[in-house]
């Protein structure tokens, strides 16, 4: 049984297009070998067979990494076409693997710990929406330059 977390994203308007939490598992397969070439959304876990196939899906725009392995996190650097990314239940030593994601508009980090520097997030040029939930060890939330289409809660 897969656990579905509450979806705390402010969905009205056009800020968030990422798949809601309760629907993420509909984008999951245990073996990526047969995933169609035109796949746009995918959920991947550490135990999925042939997960490297996600690197050869040119139409892939949205990726959820649930309990990913370190090699899966590092592979993100090879996926500059992603526009939406959710990482849940992970312990990366840093977020440097995000820096090559030049098209990334939406980023969700849920129950992600192990790093203490958010500055790679601030260097994502297309970032439009950011959701941080249950981060640990992060004590410095830098003030990033204002972005023309980036809204913040009052």
Residue 109: name the closest of 151, 68, 55, 75 by CA.
68
- Class (C level, CATH) for 21-133: alpha beta
Report pLDDT for 39.
Answer: 96
In tens, the pLDDT along 39-95 reads 999 999 999 999 999 999 999 999 999 999 999 999 999 999 999 999 999 999 999
Alpha carbon of 27 to those of 47, 50, 114, 151: distances in Å?
Answer: 15, 15, 27, 29
Q: Which residue has the higher pLDDT, 1 or 109?
A: 109
pTM of the predicted model, to two decimals?
0.85
């Amino acid at each position: 049984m897969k656990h579905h977390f509450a979806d705390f994203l402010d969905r009205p308007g056009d800020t968030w297009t990422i798949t809601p939490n309760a629907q993420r598992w509909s984008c999951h397969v245990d073996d990526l070998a047969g995933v169609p070439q035109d796949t746009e959304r995918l959920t991947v876990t550490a135990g999925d067979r042939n997960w490297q196939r996600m690197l050869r899906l040119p139409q892939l725009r949205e990726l959820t990494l649930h309990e990913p392995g370190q090699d899966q996190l590092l592979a993100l650097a090879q996926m500059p076409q992603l526009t939406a990314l959710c990482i849940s239940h992970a312990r990366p030593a840093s977020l440097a693997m995000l820096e090559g994601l030049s098209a990334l508009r939406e980023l969700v980090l849920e129950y992600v710990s192990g790093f203490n520097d958010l500055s790679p997030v601030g260097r994502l040029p297309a970032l439009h929406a950011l959701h941080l939930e249950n981060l640990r060890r992060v004590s410095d939330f830098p003030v990033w330059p204002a972005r023309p289409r980036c809204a913040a809660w009052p």
